[in-house]
Structure 1
Amino acid sequence: IDPNLAEAWSNKGVALKELKRHEEAIAHYDKALGIKPDYAEAALNKGATLKELKRYEEAIAFADQALSIDPNLAEAWSNKGVALKELKRHEEAIAHYDKALGIKPDYAEAWSNKGVVLNELQQYEEAIAHYDKALGIKPDYAEAWSNKGVVLNELQQYEEAIAHYDKALGIKPDIDWVFGDLLQIKMKTGSWSDMADFLDIISKKVMASEKVAHPFSLLALSEDAFLHQKCSEIYAQDRYPENFALGLIPKTAKKEKIRIAYFSPDFRNHPVSFLTSELFEIHDRSRFEVFAFSLKKSPIGDEMNLRLRKGFDRFIDVESMSDKEIAQLARELEIDIAIDLSGPTKYSRAGIFSYRAAPIQVNWLGYPGTMGAEFIDYIVADKIIIPEIHQHFYTEKVAYLPDTYMVDDSKRVASSRVFTREECGLPENAFVFCCFNNDYKFNSNLLDGWSRVLHSVENSVLWIPENNKSFKINITTEFERRDINPLRIIFSQREELMADHLARYALADLFLDTYPYNAHTTTVDSLKVGVPVLTLKGKSFANRVASSLLNAVGLPELITNTEEEYEALAIELAMNTKKLADIKLKLASNRLSTPLFDTPLFAKNIEAAYTKMYERYQANLQPDHIFITQSEF
């Protein structure tokens, strides 16, 4: 009827945006603005669509255009705040939300969005106050309920967090990622009712390409490597899709020294740094320049951070920079190989790699699985972690190291402190099974097996971390349901010093591994101090790590393949004192002679892998599976 009806062009753009047809939506907004250049809502809508596409600078430009036409457009102030938050310009974002709220005090979305920034700044109480304000205005605002749940989770107020996630899902059952977040908290607190139904729902939603769960939460629920891959691909496509805003990365000439850069939010007292610190120090400086991109500031005085700053050729704090700015900096520094040490875990910044920060990009150590992103070229593993027949479950090509994919810091040793069983609450003459794994790795099926072991080994106890109050209460109840006296479950308190924690291990007789998410760093810890680890090898990366480590220390006899075999061996080792003593003697000997704790050997292995990656790149060859053998250096 009227081809020049700007409002119709803009409204159609809004509908197209909701259908995720973003480029078409932008074309319609452009048509509206061509007809009516002073159409503030069309500029606002185009900016919102560009924000969805993660083109944040352009989104800001169109928010500014809308505000130049109508300075009282609260939505434009808020939308610009969202884009500024994504660019890590937090104070500016807060100022823009305040401007929006000054114009429109009952703007629930702006209250909630400001709460998100305050949460990122770890101003948790203020964040909660802002979410409460949003919910007071709009009680059915599902995102505000889930956002408040996130903060309550950070504050370890788990029961309240669960209630808030439940509320969000009750209002909006298909709200992105919240179902998985809820399940993760249930795992952390040992709240396992209906867990099988939860997993079934998540599995079906993942297979239907729905945004239901973060990849990390699935690792402890299922050993289905295909499900893990699919979930990672969905997450990567939504959170950090490939981005060509910086253009194709220029080909660099071959250098005398390969520039490798490690990216991590965990350059502090954290398991990733406990394992890697010596590696960074002993990299061959005649062949490599070694950079650190620190994605999150550490606490003042953090001893590990102080050590790491000396261990790199250059240590760069980039927390306040946007993903795009960090990728641009890496390009300017001509980084050849960028290694992501976190994957899709807490505080990670995988979006950096979506801009192609380096010609070669690698997933190693921090995340036990595929990142599901086409722009990550390699995943570092070994043949136990990823058998060749499993390669199709990984978006990356596999760089196979000869012994194990995991490194350790040989300087990390037990303190001289002598712990007594009495001070740790352990009976003097009982056999002590232990498991110092994280709370979310425990599950109902595992406790069934452990209970059968405890029933068979009468004079035995199980020593596990308290983790959190809800976990302790629920785990105790779960064991009681299996007719295990609560006095046989001994909860350990956190030791402030890692060296003291390692010394405390000496009180244990046998470490019982979890499945389907194994002990990783905790396996290294246990073997390092002479406590054997019994594991069950499964089908996924996360479920094969302990097997890799046991193989690398020459103890394959502690790797089992079925639950029945696992339980039978646990019972046998507890009852047969000579057999266990022989294994401990073998471990004590092997610890000094096998590859697991040979950090210089590991450095040579991974440097050989980096070199092969670089040689392929210089020869204009696409990434492909790489196999490193000891004979190569």
Structure 2
Amino acid sequence: MDEPLESVRAAAEARVAQALHRVAQLSQAAPTDGLSEGAALQAAYDALVGAHAAGVERFPHAASAVFMRLAAHDWLARMGDLGETERRLAEKGESVGVHMQTARLGPAAEDRIELLRQRRAWGRALEARTTPVVRAPRGGGGKRRIGFVTDELRQTNVGVFAWPLFEHRDRERFELFVYTRQDRPEDPIQALFRGWTDVWRCAPGATPQAMAELIAADGLDMLIELGAEFSWQVAAHRPAPIQASWLGYPTSVGLSAIDYFIADPHLAPEDPRMMLEQPLLAPHCWLAMTEAYFEAEPPLRAEIPEARNGVVTFGTMNGVFKMSAACLDLWAQVVAAEPGSRFLFVRPEAGAAIFRENVRRIFGARGVAPDRILFAPIRGRHLPYYDEIDVSLDTFPVTGGTTTCESLWMGVPVVSLVGAAPFERVSYSVLASAGLGHLAARTPQAFFEIATALARDRPGREAMRRDLRRHIRAHPIGRPEAFAKDFYDMLAKAIR
């Protein structure tokens, strides 16, 4: 006797839930060879496709992230358009994760404005069920108190780029407070942060309200959240009189309780409709590369990869969830235009057969043979692979940030496409503050032309490989102490 249809569907949904849970676990794991994560993504994809065949019509939201990471754009389209997805999440009170969804945006400005409407709807719903905390009064005079709420002041991207503010803190004018739930064994970078901080408050397991009450009792002048859902929930309680967002989430959060979005002249959108908060502008750069960290990175080979391989290799180490279908197609056009050139994907998704199949199909549509597409299934420990890349091609509409800095530090130029919203301008901010703004294109055609010109300019790339680290140190992004001074001057003006 055939198994009842409902039982088949229930079993299929259970397999999907188990597979998605495994993907989430491995995505948070320590650096790996990426094969296990790729296998888990493949298993999740197979479970989702199998569930659809069994009659499951609606997938959980986490499924869209799997399809996005596997470049399965046909399946992603079955989950509804982005606006519909975002509205559904906002109505349920779930955070609208821009990074896992925004690559689905079309080119229209209205798509970005709709995203912000849903962010604001989510923010209003959160604030409606959140009670403001009572802040301790502050007397006049004394140093200004700046708080940071985050669990990321460790060996993370946020930790690396927050480093200069703590190492070069302004002791004369400010006291620094950190609020974290982080109770894992301390790594060397966290130990540095704790030593640089005036008050380090660790509250493992704290609820957002409990953390907000802890912050409010310290009488801060300003609180800066570093981009995570927990910190947004804390900020919704208004534990400080002035609150700002910086670094971890390069777009508007959606809370009226967050007054400022910290940016620079390059990151800040030209269209004011693309930001909900007031922009608070650092004069030269949004972040800086602290030399103590980047000096530890692998030494550069003297020769460029083309000298060893005989062909130009393009590549990326960006998250696949940032790669729109249009992005992959434009990359394919660039590779197709350069005879014999190759493209290298250094990502854990490369361990999934369906990802490799989807990418080869997209590139094949532009005439690029499968053997010109290379894959390295890696999570973490990826920096040596820059020695295999001649030109990094940036993702869009969500651009790189950390990967752009890493690529430049490893002597590899990055070509980026500048868009209207802040998340489309992070690489532009990095490039401009490194004196390389000419590598940031305003149109897809300009992106194509810059990338192909770089591929044909072997002497220019050899000079970049030799000189880029020195070049970075001579520009704002490579001057962490000056960046910190500018940042604290900016905060002092905002507090006044």
Which is further off, 206-215 or 537-546? Answer: 206-215
Superposition map of 1:519-538 within 5 A: 519-538=400-419
1:464 aligns with 345
The alpha-carbon distance between structure 1 residues 408 and 432, as it changes in their structure 2 partners (threshold 3 A), is same
TM-score after normalising by structure 2: 0.82
Q: Distance in 2 between matches of 1:295 and 1:227?
A: 33
Q: Which residue of 2 aligns with 1:545?
A: 426
Q: Which residue of 1 aligns with 2:116?
A: 229
1:415 Cα deviation (Å)?
4.6
| Largest Rg, 1 or 2 | 1
For 1:160 and 1:425, the matched residues in 2 are separated by 36
Are 1:140 and 1:171, in contact at CA under 8 Å, matched by a contact in 2? no
For the aligned residue pairs, the C-alpha RMSD in angstroms reads 3.5
Q: CA deviation at 1:289?
A: 0.8
Q: Which residue of 416, 437, 448 maps to 1:556?
A: 437
Does residue 380 (structure 1) correspond to residue 250 (structure 2)? The answer is no
CA shift in 2, pair 1:467/1:227, >3 Å: farther
Matched position secondary structure for 2:22: helix
From 200, 203, 216, the equivalent of 2:83 is 203
Cα displacement (A) at 1:496: 5.4
1:155 and 1:592, CA in 2 relative to 1: closer, same or farther beyond 3 A?
closer
Q: 1:333 to 1:443 in 2, by over 3 A?
A: same
Q: Residue type of the partner of 1:577?
A: R
Aligned partner of 2:288 in structure 1 is 407
Aligned counterparts of 2:461 and 2:410: Cα–Cα separation in 1? 15
* Correspondence for 1:576 among 434, 454, 457: 457
Offset of 1:213 from its aligned partner? 7.2
- Residue type of the alignment partner of 1:330: I
The one of 130, 151, 158 equivalent to 2:41 is 158
Of the three residues 307, 328, 337, the one matched with 2:222 is 337
1 CA distance for matches of 2:182 and 2:250? 21
**Is 1:307 the counterpart of 2:192 in the alignment?**
yes
SS in structure 2 opposite 1:297?
Answer: coil
Q: What residue in structure 1 maps to residue 372 of structure 2?
A: 488
Q: How does 1:118-157 map to 2 (within 5 A)?
A: 139=10, 151-156=21-26, 157=40
In the TM superposition, what whole-angstrom CA distance separates every residue of 1:301-343 from its partner, at most 9, and x where no partner exists?
Answer: 5232222222222222223111111111111111221111124
Q: How big is the shift at 1:506? A: 3.9
Letter in 1 for 2:428: S
| Amino acid in structure 1 at the alignment position of 2:278 | K
2:311 to 421, 430, 437: 430
The partner residue of 2:391 within 510, 520, 542 is 510
SS in 2 for 1:254: coil
Find the aligned partners of 1:146 and 1:502 in 2 and give their Cα distance: 33
Q: Do the aligned partners of 1:268 and 1:304 also contact (CA within 8 Å) in 2?
A: yes
CA contact (8 A) 2:350 2:376 kept: no
Higher RCO (C-alpha under 8 Å, 6+ residues apart): 2
Partner of 2:486: 605
2:473 counterpart of 1:592: yes
Counterpart contact for 1:553–1:587, Cα < 8 Å: no
Identical amino acids, percent of aligned pairs = 22
Q: Which amino acid counterpart does residue 205 of structure 2 have in structure 1?
A: S
Deviates more, 1:374-383 or 1:521-530: 521-530
Find the partner of 1:324 among 205, 209, 232: 209
Q: Cα gap change, 1:370/1:432 in structure 2, threshold over 3 Å: closer, same or farther?
A: same
Change (3 A) 1:507 1:260: same
Q: Cα gap change, 1:342/1:577 in structure 2, threshold over 3 Å: closer, same or farther?
A: same
Change (3 A) 1:531 1:190: same
Match of 2:155 in 1: 269
Alignment match, 1:46: none
Q: Say if 1:438 and 1:467, in contact at 8 Å, map to a contact too.
A: no
What are the Cα deviations for residues 441-477 of structure 1, in whole angstroms up to 9, with x where unaligned?
Answer: 2232222112222122123222221323554642344
The one-letter code of the counterpart of 2:220 is I
Query: In the alignment, residue 226 of structure 2 is paired with which amino acid?
Result: L
Partner of residue 391 from structure 1, selected from 269, 272, 291: 272
> What is the one-letter code of the residue matched to 1:547?
Y
Q: Is residue 166–residue 196 contact of structure 2 (8 Å, CA) maintained in 1?
A: yes
Structure 2 match to 1:628: none
- Separation of aligned partners in 1, 2:471 and 2:301: 27
> Aligned in 2, Cα 1:419/1:379: closer, same or farther, shift over 3 Å?
closer
Is the aligned partner of 1:287 residue 2:173?
Answer: yes
Quote the offset at 1:229 in angstroms: 1.1
SS at match of 1:591: helix
- How much does 1:575 deviate? 1.3
Rounded to whole Å, the distance in 2 between the matches of 1:293 and 1:213 is 21
Per-residue deviation, 1:170: 7.2
Aligned residues: 464
- Summarize the Cα distance change of 1:546–1:301 in structure 2 as closer, same or farther, 3 Å threshold: same
Is the contact made by 1:414 and 1:502 (CA closer than 8 Å) also made in structure 2? no
